[in-house]
């Protein structure tokens, strides 16, 4: 990569050219901060689409070959696949290159990748806090990361210079970069992202299967319900992986949430208007502060 | 009201000129289907605003006086206040006029109003399934009811002609009218509206009070969380009233939801990927069907 002050990645390899990987490629291209982008995947349909849409400049299904020349390799495949891909990618990368990822869970990924680090290639674990419920190369768009946060969770084994470069990469595409430890990342994400998805999926299942009236009561849902449950349209395989790989933190958050729900239920059962009002007002105040 | 085929209400009184009452007035005006609209409220600031914005043509704080000439009186104040207002309004209304309401809960309202019906004035309980998290006359807009459903829950005491007229009123403003019994309304609403609000309020409280990290973790929330919790910005007093007046159905739905959540939690704890995938896929399928 260029060592001038201006940020530039000569050769970038994206493994998994979907929403997250594809959007990074598009954003870096739009910023004029990347040379050649190689898209690596399993299947030709998505890779060909990525090529047609100009998301990447070259495509290949040969993982090791695809990453050989890269200065930066970005793993953007489902969480569960990242460690194995990293294990294969690391020995094929050139010395001094940087491996980074965008997986939504960091603890499991870091734990399973670090044993394979040789010291020749740096690994910077990352997670852009951005997304939609769409997937694949067709879902990618260059402004996805603008005004979003990106969390990096370097460990003792991550060279500071590598973290600095990946930080600049995300800043270049418009994100505010926050560095924190792996455990903190996984707890925060469990709270603000993984728990809400579990809740949305559960709500839709609980309501959608309510067959008391021989008609689909979801037909009665208005805007509020539809907005509220939009995240229940997210990819089931991705969320299975996230739930499995962030199990501990997610279970803790679920328990915390259940306690609050139990409190609310007791207040409703007791018809305690004052407590209910306070509960709702407290929530509205917290919510309005992040509007 | 006019008895010609064209639908027209000569004199309409709106008690509570907020989002729901104000939007009905604006929509009927836009459709050219109403003569004079009187806005009735407690406080002058909101009433004056309603007058200025052209939501109503006349304003008064004198309830009985305000409804005297009306052919249709629409009660659109908080749920808990509707029965008492109806009790005062009914004897002041002229024979043959129709009282209707827009309260989000129907069982409690019907139960508390029916004892006061003399037979001179018809009461048509109603509930437009439309809304935003804003309130007051300033929040009203004429297209709120377009392409929405409106549920009417007439009882044995409701004359069919009155139901027919209120049905036309809602159809005139763009809604599809569905007639069902009171109990069914309250259960469906508990499922698709009241439960989601409880869940959103609970989520924001559970996450917003998580103080493990000495920073407000809500700051990390991205678009998904914000959309998901938008309904937690709704008026706490309104939702206290709804939770209290639809207690039974809501508690049943909460229990149903807790059972589903318990199942999900067990599957996460057991790391049962297959069950998790099915749970999420089932939800996505149900959700995508109402997109
Ligand atoms: N969506 C979000 O909101 C979001 C936000 C932040 C982070 N993330 C993380 O970003 C990563 C990618 O998510 P995404 O939303 O971009 O998903 P996506 O749109 O489905 O893209 C993932 C890509 O990875 C490839 N892939 C899928 N399964 C694979 C497998 N088993 N082995 C190798 N490659 C595979 C696919 O391309 P081929 O078919 O060509 O192989 C696919 O295009 C995940 O780790 C996710 O946790 C997602
Ligand atoms: N918002 C929704 O999503 C939605 C959807 C469907 C049905 N509803 C139902 O519609 C009704 C009105 O809701 P909204 O959203 O229109 O609320 P809103 O915007 O707050 O309007 C209610 C109006 O009622 C008056 N009011 C408030 N408290 C009162 C009291 N204690 N006694 C008499 N009048 C009072 C207020 O005007 P003054 O200050 O001038 O008195 C206020 O403008 C409620 O029964 C609600 O359940 C709401």
Rounded CA separation B153/B242 (Å): 17
One domain, residues A195 and A143: no
Name the residue facing A260 among B129, B205, B240 (closest C-beta): B205
Above 70 in pLDDT, residue B222? yes
Please indicate if any CB of chain A lies within 8 Å of the CB of B273. Answer: yes
Across all residues in chain A, what is the average pLDDT? 95
| Residue in chain B lying closest to A211 (CA) | B188
Among left, alpha and beta (phi > 0; psi -120 to 50; other), residue A124 is beta
Above 60 in pLDDT, residue B231? yes
Above 90 in pLDDT, residue A213? no
Closest CA to A104 of A84, A131, A85, A123: A131
- Quick: pLDDT tens for A3-54: 557 899 999 999 999 999 999 999 999 999 999 999 999 999 999 999 999 9
Q: How far off is chain B from A101, nearest CA to CA, in Å?
A: 19
B103 belongs to a structural domain? yes
Name the residue facing B277 among A236, A268, A288 (closest C-beta): A236
B264 belongs to a structural domain? yes
Please tell me the predicted confidence (pLDDT) of residue B224.
76
One domain, residues B58 and B174: yes
Alpha carbon distances (Å) from A199 to A57, A102, A230, B21, B291: 40, 23, 12, 33, 18
Above 90 in pLDDT, residue A226? no
Classify residue A164 by burial, with Cβ atoms within 10 Å: 0-12, 13-18, 19+.
Answer: middle
Mark B117-153 as b/e (b = at least 16 C-beta within 10 Å): beeebbbbbbbbbbbbbebebbbbbbebbeebbbbbb
Q: What are phi and psi of B14, to 5 degrees?
A: -110, 115
**Closest ligand by atom to A80 CA:** 1
Mean pLDDT for the stretch of residues A136-143: 98
Handedness of CA A53, A54, A58, A62 (dihedral sign): negative
Residues pairing with B34 in the sheet: B9
The answer to whether B51 and B59 are in contact (CB under 8 A) is: yes
One domain, residues A130 and A255: no
Alpha carbon distances (Å) from A280 to A116, A125, B257: 49, 38, 19
- Quick: pLDDT tens for A187-212: 999 999 999 999 999 999 999 988 88
One domain, residues B71 and B119: yes
Ligand 2 centroid distance, CA of B266 (Å): 41
Rounded CA separation A94/A120 (Å): 8
One domain, residues B49 and B90: yes
Name the residue facing A251 among B199, B237, B268 (closest C-beta): B268
Above 70 in pLDDT, residue B2? no
Q: What is the CA radius of gyration of chain A?
A: 21
Q: Where residue A221 falls among pLDDT bands split at 50, 70, 90?
A: confident
A4 belongs to a structural domain? no
Q: How many domains does chain B have?
A: 2
Ligand 2 centroid distance, CA of A78 (Å): 47
One domain, residues A36 and A162: yes
Q: What is the CATH number of the domain that holds A272?
A: 1.10.3660.10
Closest CA to A202 of B202, B283, B276, B205: B283
One domain, residues B217 and B279: yes
Above 60 in pLDDT, residue B178? yes
A45 is written with which tokens?
């349909």
B2 belongs to a structural domain? no
A1 belongs to a structural domain? no
B214 is written with which tokens?
């000495």
Please tell me the predicted confidence (pLDDT) of residue A278.
98
- Quick: pLDDT tens for B11-40: 999 999 999 999 999 999 999 999 999 999
**Closest ligand by atom to B222 CA:** 1
- The ipTM (two decimal places) reads 0.89
One domain, residues B87 and B202: no
Among the three residues B136, B154, B180, which one is the final residue of a domain in this structure?
B180
Instruction: Sort out which chain A residues have CB atoms less than 8 A from B224's CB and list them.
Output: 131, 133, 193, 196-197, 230-231
Please tell me the predicted confidence (pLDDT) of residue B44.
96
Among the three residues A158, A180, A202, which one is the final residue of a domain in this structure?
A180
The answer to whether A39 and A11 are in contact (CB under 8 A) is: no
Best residue in B179, B286, B288, B289 to probe A by mutation, most A CBs within 10 Å? B286
One domain, residues B90 and B234: no
Please tell me the predicted confidence (pLDDT) of residue B5.
73
B1 belongs to a structural domain? no
A2 belongs to a structural domain? no
Please indicate if any CB of chain A lies within 8 Å of the CB of B179. Answer: no
Q: What are phi and psi of A110, to 5 degrees?
A: -65, -45
One domain, residues A280 and A157: no
Handedness of CA B2, B6, B11, B16 (dihedral sign): positive
- Quick: pLDDT tens for B79-92: 999 999 999 999 99
Helix axes B195-208, A195-208, angle to 10 degrees: 170
The boundaries of the domain holding residue A204 are 184-289
What ranges make up the beta strands (E) of B31-121?
34-40, 58-60, 72-75, 98-101
Among the three residues B134, B158, B180, which one is the final residue of a domain in this structure?
B180
Please tell me the predicted confidence (pLDDT) of residue A1.
53
Question: In 3-state terms, what secondary structure has residue B123?
Answer: strand
Q: Where residue B1 falls among pLDDT bands split at 50, 70, 90?
A: low
Q: What is the CATH number of the domain that holds B167?
A: 3.40.50.720
A158 belongs to a structural domain? yes
Hunting for tokens 């997109």 — which residue is that?
B291
One domain, residues A151 and A194: no
One domain, residues B25 and B131: yes
Across all residues in chain B, what is the average pLDDT? 95
Classify residue A155 by burial, with Cβ atoms within 10 Å: 0-12, 13-18, 19+.
Answer: middle
């Amino acid at each position: 990569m260029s060592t001038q002050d201006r940020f530039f990645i000569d050769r970038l390899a994206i493994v998994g050219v979907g929403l997250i990987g594809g959007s990074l490629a598009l954003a870096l291209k739009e910023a004029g901060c990347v040379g050649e982008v190689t898209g690596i995947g399993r299947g030709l349909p998505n890779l060909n689409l990525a090529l047609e849409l100009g998301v990447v400049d070259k495509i290949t299904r040969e993982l090791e070959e695809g990453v050989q020349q890269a200065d930066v390799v970005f793993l953007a495949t489902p969480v569960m696949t990242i460690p194995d891909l990293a294990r294969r990618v690391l020995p094929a990368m050139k010395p001094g290159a940087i491996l980074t990822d965008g997986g939504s869970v960091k603890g499991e990924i870091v734990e399973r990748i670090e044993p394979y680090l040789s010291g020749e290639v740096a690994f910077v674990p990352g997670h852009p806090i951005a997304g939609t419920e769409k997937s694949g190369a067709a879902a990618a768009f260059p402004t996805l990361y603008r005004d979003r946060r990106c969390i990096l969770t370097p460990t003792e084994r991550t060279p500071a210079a590598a973290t600095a470069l990946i930080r600049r990469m995300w800043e270049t595409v418009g994100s505010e970069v926050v560095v924190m430890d792996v455990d903190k990342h996984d707890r925060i994400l469990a709270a603000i992202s993984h728990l809400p998805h579990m809740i949305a999926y559960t709500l839709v299942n609980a309501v959608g299967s309510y067959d008391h009236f021989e008609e689909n009561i979801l037909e009665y849902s208005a805007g509020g319900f539809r907005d509220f449950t939009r995240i229940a349209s997210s990819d089931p395989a991705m969320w299975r992986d996230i739930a499995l790989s962030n199990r501990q933190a997610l279970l803790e958050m679920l328990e915390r949430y259940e306690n609050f729900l139990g409190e609310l239920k007791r207040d409703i059962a007791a018809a305690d208007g004052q407590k209910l009002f306070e509960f709702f007002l407290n929530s509205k105040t917290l919510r309005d502060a992040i509007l």
